[in-house]
Structure 1
């Protein structure tokens, strides 16, 4: 009888050790990490993933970024977008169809504050790689006649897009957000539940940190005297910021930045220094960060109040006021005084 008890106890101990060893192995596999740096879409990107398939996932993510860069680049005459701008007509891929649909939705909902046909105006200013130049009023008025996303003609039956003569498109205001969204999907396909993807300041979070806590994402300040506006705790979100401080040139003591108002052809100066969009949809976040910056404070706030189920926002104004929408107010910390925007309160 005593011998049987010892055998049973030994068996239980063996099983317990095996279970403990199994969980240690699983935990070690889940804590494996892989990182990569890549230059694409005219910016530096950093990808970090955690999990047993982290290395494979990061490798697949790099391939996807390179594929989309080659597909969507306006500076590459052989890309799909380069060919469309040159030939004015062509069959488009599923990626371009998706971006076209998203871009047109944002264009309509923001009354044209986001417009992918702004490219000729961007080029006139030198923000597409050429030497910076202040266009004349005559130049701008001529080019603005070409800025109208509603002039694009898409035939769904043949997947063919037609551009009017002189019109050119550029997905630069939305492509990185879409790319980060695609990379997040790839991470999930490889069973990665924890990753942080930084595509030139466009941050995409996959799940939580490996220890289960939220990621801490610093929001860059437009003010040269400080590094960050604050820190946001988040999981499974795209966090994308647009601001005139990112790319600009100076002439005769005045700054001219790269966020162009499609209605005027001029850099947008409508009361905002920066706009940060927080959403589960990276493509939407990228497009709206530009659109709301162009729209200005009052219109941006009203737009959020009408679409608060789709995104949250951090708005930093020219007079130093920091607005944070109520959906993320409890997870954003800052040394600045914060004004919380509520859904149902008139602005």
Structure 2
């Protein structure tokens, strides 16, 4: 069951790579960060174990539901000295929370827990509770000084939205120090591409169909970078015919309802890719495009409820609509 759920959680699924006869990849699959991960590496049979160890190390630090993790301890004690990894990701998350105008906020944890998305005990908070929860979400209530972190009394942090992106960045550094010629790291919705395929062709990444996550509505041909997707189909519950998704608007503490089905981000910065995919989903199509026009350091694929795919100009020629899909494509200049 967990493997089936992992398949649904993955917003982007990498198609199988075709290896040339003289270069077979080393493949490592395992569960971490609440998802199934698959590491495919060409040219170095040993680095896969190092990559897995690095991801497991980060998972043990950043899992806010694990009582032995640094993040759990920080949320409980409100003050702690943390490891360099946790401090680095907290610092980057604070920067991204500011840059993304609160559409991404690392202190959304109380609301995520209140809706039951961490425990699976789903519930719908009433308007009064939502108001109180929204007042608890404010990244400015986190103080970071080197490796020392302090939270205000009602503040709790959740780095789940950027942990896989940060792991992708850390693994990228390990790959640069290895003998690997190419690699595809599928971290469950966040994919890191490294080097070039043995046959010289681009990597081919399928963008999952939110209505059927086992299928793809399109494909991206890429030479590298990190690809991250956020979608309402990843985790949700239904009550009285209404769907409540796990992506919450920090301003309202409630699930987002704005006509977006999924947001896919392509950029070299894995941590930013994760944060951007969440933030642009929260922003909605029009605000996402406005943000892109003033911060054109990434590309995106946005799928909306009306069957429109919005593509940034930088990846228009690298996107292919899958057979059987009748979707309108618009280019964002």
After TM superposition, is the score higher than 0.5? yes
Cα contact 1:292–1:300 (8 A) shared by 2: yes
Counterpart of 2:321 in structure 1 is 334
Counterpart of 1:34 in structure 2 is 26
Cα contact 2:80–2:149 (8 A) shared by 1: yes
CA distance in 2, matches of 1:130, 1:204: 29
Root-mean-square deviation (CA, aligned residues, Å) is: 1.6
Q: CA deviation at 1:225?
A: 9.4
Cα contact 2:91–2:144 (8 A) shared by 1: no
CA distance in 2, matches of 1:225, 1:63: 29
Q: How many residues align?
A: 310
Cα contact 1:123–1:130 (8 A) shared by 2: no
Cα contact 2:41–2:180 (8 A) shared by 1: yes
Deviations 1:168-226 (A, max 9, x none): 10100100111112112212211212000101121110112111111000000112398
Alignment of 1:1-347 (within 5 A): 31-51=23-43, 54-156=44-146, 159-224=147-212, 227-308=215-296, 310-335=297-322, 336-342=327-333
Determine which structure has greater relative contact order: mean sequence separation of CA pairs < 8 Å that are 6+ residues apart, divided by chain length: 2
Q: Which runs of 5+ in 2 are unaligned?
A: 1-19
CA distance in 2, matches of 1:117, 1:187: 32
**Higher Cα radius of gyration:** 1
Cα contact 2:307–2:328 (8 A) shared by 1: no
CA distance in 2, matches of 1:305, 1:143: 32
CA distance in 1, matches of 2:58, 2:138: 25
Q: CA deviation at 1:328?
A: 0.7
Deviations 1:96-129 (A, max 9, x none): 2221222122211221000111001000000012
Deviations 1:64-110 (A, max 9, x none): 01100001010111111011011110112221222122212221122
Deviations 1:235-279 (A, max 9, x none): 221111101111100001000000000001110112211100001
CA distance in 2, matches of 1:167, 1:187: 36
Deviations 1:313-340 (A, max 9, x none): 0011121110110001111111433111
Structure 1 segments (4+ residues) deviating >4 Å: none
Which of the two has greater strand per residue?
2
CA distance in 2, matches of 1:262, 1:327: 30
TM-score by length of 1: 0.86
CA distance in 2, matches of 1:301, 1:76: 37
Deviations 1:278-325 (A, max 9, x none): 0111110001000000000011011111111x2100011121110110
Cα contact 1:35–1:58 (8 A) shared by 2: yes
Relative to 1, partners in 2 of residues 1:266 and 1:184: Cα closer, same or farther, differing over 3 Å?
A: same
CA distance in 2, matches of 1:129, 1:184: 32
